[in-house]
Structure 1
Amino acid sequence: MLKEYYSRNELIKFVSNTPKDIEICDVTLRDGEQTPGVVFTREEKIALARELDEVGVEIIEAGFPVVSAAEKDTVKEIAGMGLDARTCCLSRALIADVDSAIDCNVDMVSIFIAMSDLHLKHKYHKSCKEITDCAFNTIEYAKDHGLSVRFAAEDATRTDISVLKKAFLTAEDYGVDYVSIADTIGILNPSTAYYLVTEIKKEIHTPVCIHCHNDLGLATANTLAAAEAGAKQLHTTVNGIGERAGNAALEEVLLSLMVQYGIEKYNTRNIKKISDLVQKYSNVQVAANKAIVGKNAFSHESGIHVMAILEDPRTYELFSPEIVGGKRNLIAGKHTGMKALKGIVKDIGYSLEEEELNLLIERVKNCTEAKKGISRNRLEDIIKGIKKV
């Protein structure tokens, strides 16, 4: 149990299928880099791999080696860093792609194909049998060369479920270590995610992975629902970056696993640090109200809220900011009353007389910055000015 507080969801006791034996495969270095305009340097990828390892994710998808010689060298270097996390890379159903993975000395290769009618017709221009035969030949080659293999069905959530099951059963016969359901266009909702994983697991005994995109803003919810249905490997990216609307966010998934299910095996203290690094390296800033890592995630301005927070933070915080390496921010602004302002002043280390407090609240209310709240530093400057009067 973490020493810091957090509020557990007591309703979870009514859910019979809580996640068991789960692992995280973070795909920031591969799928995250497919965010339009984002390219990580070799040094940035190495730094992020180290931070992901510190968080405790079990698998890091380091990249797509056949993209370029530089990408291949970076994947190989990450695989040789001696991390606790296993390394993985992406591969099409081509022997040459697997050879690149072998050269990189990764632990696992993710061999993907699409089997939906749309992709077969408009991307491959081939039959499902032609595509799956290529995949199985590639899987056999990868297994023969000592690699762990994840067989990933791209656009799985628009593929006929009988086709999906048949392909996964055959892949199972070839000895794959995982089968992966990719919700490539984010069409799932929690109910359909739960149903799909449940149906697959009725016939497939190989561990199931879930890879969710966020086109409807449901990627995290769908990932958790899949975990409840028995998915073992959950795919994430830091800050939820990725193609279009992105992927399931690492920070959301990890904190949800902790709060909702009591899964505390990850080092969440590094969450804010790695979030800031990804923002810096990608130049993609998270929204102010982004869960867990946004600048407003632990900010409080309402006078009633601030007073309660000062007495017991659990009143308006699900978990303490320290759990994710963040900080609480008490803001003086339009909604701040005298009692709350007095508490904020005390919290930042000052003591004002009643007359000084009256002057301070007047300046806070009239301050041109009040529209966006007054930062701690700005508030301190105002207090210092009042003290000199």
Structure 2
Amino acid sequence: MKAPRVTDTTLRDGSHAMKHQFTREQVQQIVQALDAAGVPVIEVTHGDGLAGSSIQYGFSGTSEMDLIETARQSATRAKIAALLIPGIGTRQELREAAQRGVQVVRIATHCTEADISEQHFGLAKELGLETVGFLMMAHMRPPEFLAEQAALMESYGADCVYIVDSAGAMLPDDARARVRALKERLSIQVGFHAHNNLGLAIGNTLAAIEAGADQVDGCLRGLGAGAGNAPTELIAAVLDRLGINPGLDVFALMDAAEYVVAPIMPYQPIPDRDAITIGYAGVYSTFLLHARHIAAEFGLDPRELLVELGRRQAVAGQEDWILDVAVDLAQAKQRVA
């Protein structure tokens, strides 16, 4: 195994848990702590990426462009990254983010929709940015299919493509097989982004590294959506024990998690009942509240509704489908009765 590059996404994925209310002061403190600890890339944006601040996704307390600018001013060594989801963020926001100091853009699509990212990769290259592709909800498709999608991103100009376990649904063999498929197909780097819904964020990250992952992600204290992400300080400790520490200060990251991030966290993300259900079902966390309300109307357990949605491979944007699936399940129960 070789030492991977670690990107910390506390200030992006952690924005979900913070209801997108990070302040300039908090960004400055977190970036300075991560930078001093040797973290080479720090991601800063709304949880749903550039232009995510909206009634649909939740309004930011402080403009993400201001947070990006603060992050760039606070880092002495680390690169500042931003997430962009085509359809939410546009080329206009990408241009402004670059002007404010972003050096790396991570362009994220559903794992079947890499083709919608071509213009965004093209502009990012024109702006001189490092480019990373994100294949979200990657548990939903087999390794060979994902490799084809990743190859599209490579052809558009990606410098790296990530397998993204958005629902925290993967097991170590799933992570290993997907990363390996991309390593065999691509001539660029491969990354892995874990969530902890099944308690496997660190295990899956290690499996990805064993399969050759060049880049991995973490969040201080695991602060992220759902059950959170692989904790950056844990990644550092484990890599150090394995003898492949890429230059991270383990103690400094432990202190950053304990004394900088923990005091501002509204709660500690854990694999609780809801998070486990999302990982077990393999669906987006946005389905959870809808499933609860609709299941109550039909006398269903929301977990069985979510599992059925996962079986039918529902994706974000199909929340209206929950009602149809609930009707099907309720009718099936009536027939059995």
TM-score (norm 1): 0.62
Q: Which of the numbers 156, 163, 181 marks the counterpart of 1:199?
A: 181
Moved more, 141-150 or 38-47: 38-47
The alignment status of 1:190 with 2:172, answered yes or no, reads yes
SS of the residue corresponding to residue 193 of structure 2 reads: strand
Match of 2:265 among 260, 282, 288: 282
- Counterpart pick for 2:65 among 50, 61, 72: 72
> Is 1:90 aligned to residue 86 of structure 2?
no
Query: How big is the shift at 1:37?
Result: 4.5
1:251 aligned to 2:247? no
Provide the identity percentage: 29
- Equivalent residues of 1:210, 1:226 under 8 A apart: yes
Match of 1:167 in 2: 149
TM (normalized to structure 2)? 0.71
What SS does the aligned partner of 1:61 have?
Answer: strand
**3-state secondary structure, aligned to 2:209:** helix
Q: Which runs of 5+ in 1 are unaligned?
A: 1-17, 117-127, 288-389
Shift in alpha-carbon separation, 1:142–1:284, aligned structure 2, 3 A: same
Whether 1:107 and 2:90 are equivalent positions in the alignment is no
Offset of residue 285 of structure 1: 4.8
- 1:123-175 deviation digits (Å, cap 9, x = unpaired): xxxxx4xxx33311111111112111111111112124343222211221222
Corresponding letter in the other structure for 1:280: P
- Computed over aligned residues only, the root mean square deviation of the Cα atoms, in angstroms, reads 2.0
Question: What amino acid does structure 1 have at the position aligned with 2:247?
Answer: K
Q: Residues 350-361 of structure 1: matches in 2 within 5 Å?
A: none
Task: String of CA shifts for 1:37-87, please: whole Å, max 9, x gaps.
Answer: 563211011100000011111100022442356221111221233420111
Does the residue aligned with 2:11 lie in a helix, a strand or coil?
A: coil
Q: Give the Cα separation in 2 of the matches to 1:110 and 1:91.
A: 6
- Say if 1:240 and 1:249, in contact at 8 Å, map to a contact too: yes
Structure 1 residue 36, shift from structure 2 partner: 5.7
* 2:41 pairs with 1:48: no
Instruction: Give the direction of change, closer, same or farther, for the CA distance of 1:251–1:206 in structure 2 (3 Å limit).
Output: same
The number of residue pairs the alignment matches comes to 255
For 2:263, the aligned partner's letter is: K
Shift of residue 32, structure 1, vs aligned partner: 1.1
**Aligned pairs (5 A) from 1:278-357:** 278-285=261-268
Kindly tell me: are residues 43 and 183 of structure 1, through their superposed partners in 2, closer, same or farther at Cα, counting changes over 3 Å?
A: same
Separation in structure 2 between the aligned mates of residue 196 and residue 109 of structure 1, nearest angstrom: 22
CA distance in 1, matches of 2:37, 2:75: 15
Deviations 1:167-201 (A, max 9, x none): 21122122211111100011112222112111111
CA distance in 2, matches of 1:204, 1:52: 30
* Contact in 1 for aligned 2:236/2:249 (Cα 8 Å): no
